[in-house]
Structures are given as structure tokens and as C-alpha cells.
Chains A and B, each alone.
Chain A
Amino acid sequence: LDLDALTGCLASSACLVTQSTSGFIIGMLLFLVAVGLTLIFGVLKVVNFSHGAFYMFGAYFAMTAYQVTGSFALAMLVGAAGTALLGLVFERVFMSRVYGRDVLMQLLVCYAFVLIFDDVVRLIWGPEFKSMGMPSAFQVPPLFIAGGVVPPYYLLLIGVALAVAAILGVGLARTKIGKVIRAAAHNPGMVSALGINTGLIYGGVFALGGMLAGLAGALAAPVRSLTPGMGFSVLIESFIVTVIGGMGSILGALIGALLIGLIRSFGSLGFPLFTDGLMYLFMVIVLVARPTGLFGKEVA
């Protein structure tokens, strides 16, 4: 417990900026993972317990693509596209068999894939920690904003995540595809009776969710170390985000992710040993006050 460090930081603008930025990038990465989780839940009514594995695969795909081609943009693309494909196959071949069955089965199928995917990564890339390294385009001196240190890469990361949030928000609310997806979430039987292939929508939404998690992994690859099992802690955190924000709400995922990011970055100053605990504590408080999350709709 180090409250002096926390109050000291809150008083200085430099520290405030540095900590907020690190909080924002934690939050933005979490948002990308959590929004996929929340979309899949909103439309398919299943919780993708293996969602963390897509984050992990995104990071590993990006690392390999970067090592082979040396292009950062291509690495991001491979990370996102590879996991989208993986998501599509995973949904069509396996998850589609357990819709409408009890939650236990859905959890078990995902649990099986958490085990399998972690071992597949160990098999292909080895069990040791890996690092992609910062691409040379971003190896420039950090920016100084109000005395705080902000690496340019962080700005890119935050920008990409905000762009994704905007595209998703507008896309779901305004476009025709968005309307079909919302209709399928509300009443798949009716949508299918109108001649729309719901299987395709389900597969597409799962691929989109997987892609967002993969993109998060790819974006995180230069700043985090890669290891089999890296997806699991992200999964737990993004689940906490969706619980706080409310299952199925994109705005909720954004707000929840930012809150968790800020709690983590400022909590690590004030309560270095209890940062995780702080996060759980916050979740408990939200759940007790609002069991459906901050932006969740009441379930009848």
C-alpha cells in the first residue's frame, strides 16, 4: 500500500499524463477483445470462453508475419485476417453444434479449445517468452504532453481502437448489415424465415469478434511479451469489462475497458500488490449495485 505515491502522482501533470496514457492503452486493448466477446454474446447468445486464444493467435501471427516480411502493416493485417478465418472455422465446425444446448456444453467445448490452442502454440512457436520488437517506424523519441511521456505507438493504438469503436457503433446502428445483425440477435427464427441465412450471420459475427481479438493481439505484440496462455488473463479481464459494462453493449465495453485500464494503471501506483484485487473489487461493487452491468439492459 503506497498512498503517497498515488496522491503525489495525482498532483503532478506529468505523472498524470503518463499513467493515463498507459491506462488508456490497457483499456483500448481490452476494449478490442471485450467488444468481440460482447458482440458474439449479443448475437449468438454464447460466451466464447476461448476468446483469449484469438488474442494470442493474433499476436503470434503478427510476430511471424513481421519476421518474414518486415512490414508492420502486413503484420497487423495477417494477425486480424488469420484470426477472422480461425473464428469462422471454429464457429461453423464446432460452436454451431452446441447452440441451444445448455451452457455447460458450450463452456466445455470452449474449455477444450483453450487447452488445445495453448498447446498448439507451444508446439509451433515453443513454450518460451517471445517478443516481436517495436517496428522501426515507431522507434522515434516519445512525445512530451504536459510533461508526461507518450510513445507515438500508443497514440496509434488508441486511434485504431477508437476507430474500431466508431465503425462498429455506426455500422450496427446505420447500415443494412448492422440492422440484419441486430435483427438476428433479437429473433433469429424470424430473420431466417425472411430468407436470410442466419448461419452466415453467426459465422460472420464470430469471425468479426475473432478478428477484433486478433487485431488486439497483433497491436499488443510490439509492447507485450508473447507466451502460450497469454490469452487467458486477457480473457478474464475482458470478461470483467463486459460484466461491468453490461453484456451485449458496445458502449458499455468501451467505458468498462477504460475504467479497468485506469484502475490498473493508477492502482499499480497506490496498491502495487493488490492491482488485480482492485479490479475484482470494482466488479463486485458494480454487480451488487447493478447486476446487469452499467449499460446492460434488464433481462426479463
Chain B
Amino acid sequence: MSELQAERAGEPLGVPRIKAASKRLRYADVMIALAAFALLATLPFLFTSKALLDFVIRCSAFGLFATSLNLLVGYTGMISFGHGMFFGLGAYGFGLIMQRTGVPIPVAFIGTLLITTVAAVVIGAICVRLKEIYFAFVTLAFQMLIHSVILSWVWLTGGDQGLRGGIPRPMFLGIDLSNHTHLYVTSCALLVIGLWLMRRIAQSPFGYTLRMIRDNASRASFVGIDVWRAKLTIFVLAALFASTGGIIMSLFVSGAYPEFAYWTISGEGIFINMLGGVTTFLGPMVGTVLLLILNDTVTRLTEYYGIVLGIVILFFAIGLRKGLMDFAVEWYEQRRDGAKERA
């Protein structure tokens, strides 16, 4: 490999170092999570608009998916182009367990996560040792494999029609998910808990190991880190959160459709990360909200959604070269530095 290439390949994502979290900050995370949940939970009392609550539910599903993708892309430097398969797997797994067995919802939830774990371990074991571009495309190939299995396994999955006939949602622990408000609060709770857990992973010593692997994998392995194992672990963990996003989605639409497992979901996930920025933990969440707003506006105005979305992506990728949250952080730091100089 020539000097030029070596330099190019070794370049990290250009992510500024995030300072180590102190214990005080860890409590701050809990407080922020509780405050966010309280705020979201009061929304139904303030606004009666069903559309707004639906929007938040969709944000929960895609937000969990996109943030978990950022654990791979932003924190570990693994650009997965097939992360959407776990979203689809979550939706189909949960829907099928509920339709076929009639077990309580928490059992189906755990069962789906178990299925996802098995799938992610097998797929991850094959993929994670590949170099970045191979990794991207082999994950994409697995995504297409799962999509084609869903399309061709008609008696189980309903083929291109998707899982129809609704997903039964029996009461559990006094929660009735067929009630819209209950579904809303549950989605918010799953979102906040999921984000908090992912934040804990990102700020843990393991999270810092991942950043080290991203910046220099060979150095990390010289220090004694089992790179393959660390990558596989985060691949499986990220898959679990993506699957949870899929479960929320299947509860929301009361079904599962092949589009949930199609590659465009992964593409959108990557774009959400770009839109919001991969250098901050909440970047993907901001990106999710932006993309869903963009989505809803554009599909109302034109049927040529791809052209508009494509141009927006180009604007971000070639024009801005970074996400919105990256801008916000830079602006804040500049202001702070400016204030210091004046003082």
C-alpha cells in the first residue's frame, strides 16, 4: 500500500475527543433522561393532536434505530449499511410471536431480543473482521438476504403483503397498548431508557475502547484489546436497540412490512446520522426528527421524494460536510472561547 493510501485509510472520522465523564455527569444523564421522559409524558395532556403523538412514536422507533447505528458508525468507525435488517427483524419477530403464540407482550419482547441476539452474533461474526468498505457491503448483502427471505417465506411472513391482520396487544401490568396514550407513553419510556442505556455504553470504559479502535485499531490490539470481540459485542448491542425500534414500529402500525427490512431503511439510518452529526450522542436523535419532518413535508408536496431527499443529502454531504449538531457544538465552543478571551 502506498503512502497516500495508508494515510487515507488511517484517517479517523475527524471526531473531536469527548471528555471523560465524571460521576457528577453520570447523575446528570439520569436527571436529563427523567426530565425528558416527564416532558414527553405530559405532551398528551397539553396537546390533543393525535398526529403529534404519532410523530413522537415514529421518532422513538427511528431514533433508537439511528442512535444505535451511531454506536457503530460514530463511536467504533464501523459503517454498517445493513443495520436496518435488525429493525426489520425486530418488527417481524415481535409481530410473529404475538400473532402465533399469544404470549404476554414482555415475553414476546424478550423473545424478539433473543432472536436478534442470535442473528446478530452469527452475522456479526462473519462481518466484523472485514475492512470498512467490505464490511459496509457485506452487511448490505445480509440485509438483502433477510429481505428476500421475508419475501419468499410466504406462509410465515405473508410475503410482499407483510404481516397483516393486526398484532394482538393484550393488557399487561395495567398497560393497554391498544390504547393510543398507553402506546405513546410506552414508546417514550422505551426511547428514554434505550437512549440512557446507550449513553451508559458510550461513556463506559468499553465505549472508550471502541473510540480507540475507531482511531487506530492496530494500536488498540497492541495494547491488548481483542478488537474482533469488542466489535462483535457492539455490533450485537447495537442490533438489540435497532430491534427495539422495530418492535415499537410494529406496535405502532400493528403489523410488519417488507419495507422495514429493505436496504433503504439502512440508507436512511446512515443519512440521519449524517444529518444530525455523528460527533455528539444526541446528533442522530436530532437527525431523526429532521428527517421525519422532511419526509412528511416532501411526501405531501411531491411524489418524487427521491429527488428532493437526494438533493438534501448532497447539500449536507458535499456542501456542509457535517451534521447540524456538529455545527451547534462548534458554535457553542467558539462562543465560549470568545467569552474567555474577552474576560
B52 in contact (CB, < 8 A): no
A172 in contact (CB, < 8 A): no
Chain A contacts for B132, CB-based, 8 A: 103
Query: Are B317 and A119 in contact, CB atoms less than 8 angstroms apart?
Result: no
Query: Are A111 and B306 in contact, CB atoms less than 8 angstroms apart?
Result: no
Query: Are A107 and B79 in contact, CB atoms less than 8 angstroms apart?
Result: yes
Chain A contacts for B316, CB-based, 8 A: 108
Among A111, A188, A287, residue most surrounded by chain B Cβ atoms (within 10 Å)? A111
Given the known inter-chain contacts A45-B8, A287-B130, please indicate yes or no for A276 contacting B145, CB distance below 8 A. Answer: yes
Query: Are A123 and B148 in contact, CB atoms less than 8 angstroms apart?
Result: no
Q: Which residue of A lies closest to B4 (CB)?
A: A189
- A240 interface neighbour in B136, B141, B309, B311, Cβ under 8 Å: B141
A243 in contact (CB, < 8 A): yes
- B137 interface neighbour in A100, A119, A239, Cβ under 8 Å: A239
Given the known inter-chain contacts A103-B133, A120-B307, please indicate yes or no for A112 contacting B314, CB distance below 8 A. Answer: yes
A300 in contact (CB, < 8 A): yes
Given the known inter-chain contacts A100-B8, A276-B145, A283-B141, please indicate yes or no for A123 contacting B317, CB distance below 8 A. Answer: no
| Tally of A interface residues using CB under 8 Å | 47
Query: Are A111 and B138 in contact, CB atoms less than 8 angstroms apart?
Result: no
In the docked arrangement, what's the CA distance between A284 and B318, Å? 34
A68 in contact (CB, < 8 A): no
Chain A contacts for B129, CB-based, 8 A: 291
Chain B contacts for A177, CB-based, 8 A: none
Query: Are A47 and B133 in contact, CB atoms less than 8 angstroms apart?
Result: yes
Among B305, B306, B307, residue most surrounded by chain A Cβ atoms (within 10 Å)? B306
Tell me if B's interface is mostly helix, strand, loop or mixed.
helix
In the docked arrangement, what's the CA distance between A104 and B133, Å? 9
Chain A contacts for B1, CB-based, 8 A: 299-300
Among B84-92, B267-275, B282-290, B330-338, which stretch is in contact with chain A?
B267-275
Instruction: Encode A92-105 as 1/0 by CB contact (under 8 A) with B.
Output: 00100110111111
B206 in contact (CB, < 8 A): no
Given the known inter-chain contacts A103-B133, A115-B309, A240-B141, please indicate yes or no for A122 contacting B79, CB distance below 8 A. Answer: no
Query: Are B136 and A276 in contact, CB atoms less than 8 angstroms apart?
Result: no
Query: Are A288 and B318 in contact, CB atoms less than 8 angstroms apart?
Result: no
Tell me if A's interface is mostly helix, strand, loop or mixed.
helix
Contacting B at CB under 8 A, from A15-62, are 45, 47
Query: Are A115 and B318 in contact, CB atoms less than 8 angstroms apart?
Result: no
Chain A contacts for B318, CB-based, 8 A: 94, 97-98, 109
Q: Which residue of B lies closest to A95 (CB)?
A: B318
Query: Are A108 and B11 in contact, CB atoms less than 8 angstroms apart?
Result: no
| Tally of B interface residues using CB under 8 Å | 50
Q: How far is the CB of A279 from chain B (nearest CB, A)?
A: 9
In the docked arrangement, what's the CA distance between A115 and B263, Å? 12
Query: Are A288 and B126 in contact, CB atoms less than 8 angstroms apart?
Result: yes
Chain A contacts for B13, CB-based, 8 A: 102, 104
Q: How far is the CB of A34 from chain B (nearest CB, A)?
A: 12
A236 in contact (CB, < 8 A): yes
Query: Are A45 and B141 in contact, CB atoms less than 8 angstroms apart?
Result: no
B144 in contact (CB, < 8 A): yes
Chain A contacts for B79, CB-based, 8 A: 103-104, 107
Chain B contacts for A287, CB-based, 8 A: 126, 130, 134, 138
Q: How far is the CB of A1 from chain B (nearest CB, A)?
A: 12
In the docked arrangement, what's the CA distance between A136 and B144, Å? 37
In the docked arrangement, what's the CA distance between A107 and B13, Å? 14
A225 in contact (CB, < 8 A): no
Chain B contacts for A280, CB-based, 8 A: 141-142, 144-145
In the docked arrangement, what's the CA distance between A115 and B137, Å? 18
Query: Are A108 and B317 in contact, CB atoms less than 8 angstroms apart?
Result: yes
Query: Are A119 and B306 in contact, CB atoms less than 8 angstroms apart?
Result: yes
Given the known inter-chain contacts A115-B310, A116-B310, A239-B141, please indicate yes or no for A273 contacting B152, CB distance below 8 A. Answer: yes
Query: Are B149 and A277 in contact, CB atoms less than 8 angstroms apart?
Result: yes
Instruction: Encode B4-20 as 1/0 by CB contact (under 8 A) with A.
Output: 11001001011000000
Q: How far is the CB of A146 from chain B (nearest CB, A)?
A: 33
In the docked arrangement, what's the CA distance between A283 and B138, Å? 9
B73 in contact (CB, < 8 A): yes
Chain B contacts for A247, CB-based, 8 A: 133-134
Query: Are B274 and A115 in contact, CB atoms less than 8 angstroms apart?
Result: no
Chain A contacts for B271, CB-based, 8 A: 108, 111
Chain A contacts for B134, CB-based, 8 A: 243, 247, 287, 291
Query: Are B310 and A188 in contact, CB atoms less than 8 angstroms apart?
Result: no
Query: Are A187 and B311 in contact, CB atoms less than 8 angstroms apart?
Result: no
In the docked arrangement, what's the CA distance between A259 and B21, Å? 53
Q: Which residue of B lies closest to A113 (CB)?
A: B310
Query: Are A111 and B270 in contact, CB atoms less than 8 angstroms apart?
Result: yes
Chain B contacts for A101, CB-based, 8 A: 321
Q: How far is the CB of B269 from chain A (nearest CB, A)?
A: 11
In the docked arrangement, what's the CA distance between A284 and B134, Å? 12
Query: Are A107 and B311 in contact, CB atoms less than 8 angstroms apart?
Result: no
A186 in contact (CB, < 8 A): yes
Chain A contacts for B96, CB-based, 8 A: none
Query: Are B126 and A119 in contact, CB atoms less than 8 angstroms apart?
Result: no
Query: Are B140 and A236 in contact, CB atoms less than 8 angstroms apart?
Result: yes
Question: Measuring CB to CB, which residues of chain B are less than 8 angstroms from any residue of chain A?
Answer: 1-5, 8, 11, 13-14, 73, 79, 81, 126, 129-134, 136-138, 140-142, 144-145, 148-149, 152-153, 263, 267, 270-271, 274, 278, 304-307, 309-311, 313-314, 316-318, 321
What are 19 contact pairs spanning A and B, CB under 8 A?
A: A94-B314, A98-B317, A102-B11, A105-B321, A109-B317, A111-B267, A112-B314, A112-B317, A114-B267, A115-B313, A116-B311, A186-B2, A188-B4, A189-B2, A189-B4, A273-B153, A274-B152, A283-B138, A299-B1
